[in-house]
Amino acid sequence: MGSPVVLPNYKIPFLIGDIGLTIGATLDSSIQKIYASSSRHKASKRDPFTAIIETHYRYDCSAAYAQNEMLFHSARWHLEQGGIDGVVFHVLKGQIEYDFELERFEQLFGTATIPVFRLETDYQYQDVEQLRIRMEAFMEMLAHHRYREEKRAV
């Protein structure tokens, strides 16, 4: 979740795969824009500026919103589907609007006792080893959390 991961900044997905975690779903405002811009907007004979406005404002999928309801509802839907052990909330430096959303998502996933890990980075690759250490610690916490849940079930 969080800031979109776009070319050439694939270090986070590669790092998640390298340490043995699995990406179950990707949620960010760029994915929501794809869902919001349905085929009926493309087939319309309206002014293209009106279509852009509707895509970004009517469907509330712009990352510039302090409260992005579409992203929040999508996250809640994924939570209701189950199978989430933890959430990595990716924030690129300089994209503070994603930090505004973090507290709401921490509360949402906290109701289901799912840990949320905020990972702030930039486009440089110098911090990969530091990020690896932090991600491995998060992975250990997830394993401990899973063990505690299994022990509680017995």
5-56, pLDDT tens digit by residue? 777 778 988 999 999 988 888 876 655 555 555 545 454 556 777 777 666 6
- CA–CA separation, 88 vs 91, rounded Å? 10
Round to whole Å and give the CA distance between 3 and 99: 9
User: What does the pLDDT read at residue 41?
Assistant: 46
Classify domain 11-153 at the CATH class level.
Answer: alpha beta
Predicted structure pTM score: 0.74
Task: Determine if residue 84 is left, alpha or beta; phi over 0 gives left, psi from -120 to 50 gives alpha, anything else beta.
Answer: beta
Domain ranges of the chain: 11-153
What pLDDT was estimated at residue 108? Answer: 95
Residue ranges in 43-118 assigned as alpha helix (H): 48-53, 69-81, 96-110
**pLDDT per residue as tens digits for the range 53-99:** 666 665 555 555 556 777 888 889 999 998 899 999 998 888 888 88
Q: Which tens digit of pLDDT belongs to each residue from 104-136?
A: 999 999 999 999 999 999 888 899 999 999 999
